Amino acid sequence: MPASNTEQNDMFFPAVQHGVPAIVLAPMDGLTDAPMRAVHTHIGGFSFTVSEFIRVAQELPPARIFLKEVPELTAGAKTPTGCPVQVQLLGGDPDRMATSARLAVKLGARGIDVNFGCPAPTVNRHDGGATLLKYPDRIQLVVRAIRDALPPEIPVSAKLRLGWESVDDIHLNAEMAALGGASWITIHGRTRMERYLPPAHWEPIGEVKRNLNIPVVANGDIWTLDDLRRCQDVTGCEHFMLGRGAIANPYLAGWAAAEIGVRGTSHEELTAPAPEEWPELLSLLVSYSAHYGHTGENSILCRLKQWLSLASRYGNFDRFDLLKRSATAEELFQLMGADSALCILQQIRQHQKPHKLPEASVPDSQEDMDGCLLECSGLSASLIMQTV
């Protein structure tokens, strides 16, 4: 079975539609880069992913920035297992945002998302992200400028928070995004001032969904399958974006996809990854990091610790205290008994070039996927594929 739900015309992005459930991997700056997107779409369950934001400021981002941040643009805007990647832009100037969107599409983007939700103070001080929530008319202008600049088959969406301070602001802001031409919106169930404080407020998301004629993707505090069910009950949504919960438990997306009836998924609810499964999961990250040219060992070590820290804080990984003081990736893998990952590190040291993976296409069968993974990293793929 393919690792991602990509049974769509290859010419078009799989737009969010009424009656077609979807699970989306959230954009998380500094976390869900190309290697991490590749890992989680390989494990399975996601309908598509959204890139980390590309900042559109006074000086427009050149092509090299797009290709650095979203290298999937050179492969049909898809991850190596064929899962579509939507490019996210962040900025407040309609003309510059439209120009950058045109460049992204010229480079291969098949869908554009606009970030109106980032709560980072530095971003907000420079007229980006959640700052726009204070100016509903500007949300409409930015979305409209991008929509009018692109071919009609390229969907434009918007990601919003409930408001800057008040959850009630979402009603007007969502309406402005829709009037601007957004094909769908994603709503994170917190205000900017709440940052990531629990709980997320799902009720306003449901109110918007009932009042808006475009699809609404629910986001925020979906850590477990029970959370997904409660969010679905409260909001009435059939589309969900998973963030930290999916990183902490890499199997969550597969369970969620099956739960809401995403086509081509049939997952049984399992426990989160057992300790003996994590070496294989981390080996995937090392392999895909090498594939995208991220071969610095300090960088790899930081990414491994970042993932395990999230899995420890929000999942059931209970060995992080043992591993967090590892001085090298090699030491971390030795402590975990991750021989396959050690092998990949040795290959990186020998060749010092991106690890070559098979062509970025969706395998026709589980056997094909097993073969792809064995070819690219020497791993035993059976454990990973149990959840696909």
Supply 47's token pair: 């309908």
DSSP 74: G
> Which are the contacts of 233, defined by CB distance < 8 A and separation ≥ 6?
none
Contact 84, 78 (CB under 8 A): yes
DSSP run (H or E) holding 214: none
State the residue for tokens 């109110």.
207
Q: 118 catalytic, yes or no?
A: yes
Q: How far apart are CA 209 and CA 230, in angstroms?
A: 16
How far is the C-alpha of 163 from the C-alpha of 171, rounded, in Å?
Answer: 9
Residues with Cβ within 8 Å of residue 176, at least 6 apart in sequence: 136, 137, 139, 140, 143
| DSSP for 276-317, written as a single string | GGHHHHHHHHHHHHHHTT---HHHHHHHHHHHHHHHHHHSS-
Q: For residues 90 and 51, what is the distance between their CA atoms, to the nearest angstrom?
A: 11
Those residues whose C-beta lies under 8 Å from the C-beta of residue 197, and which sit 6 or more positions away, are 190
Q: Using CA atoms, how far apart are residues 341 and 337, in angstroms rounded to an integer?
A: 9
Distance (Å, whole) CA 36 – CA 53: 15
Q: How many CB atoms lie within 10 A of CB 68?
A: 15
Which residues, 6 or more positions from 298, have their beta carbon under 8 angstroms from its beta carbon?
none
Beta carbons of 12 and 82 less than 8 angstroms apart: no
| Closest to 320 in 3D by CA, of 331, 336, 309 | 309
Distance (Å, rounded) from C-alpha 253 to C-alpha 207?
Answer: 25
**Residue 220 and residue 265: Cα distance in Å, rounded?**
23
Q: Could you say which of 118, 231, 372, 376 is catalytic?
A: 118
Q: Which two tokens stand for residue 235?
A: 């909001």
- Structure tokens, 206: 């449901």
Cα dihedral sign, 198-202-205-211: negative
Active site residues: 118
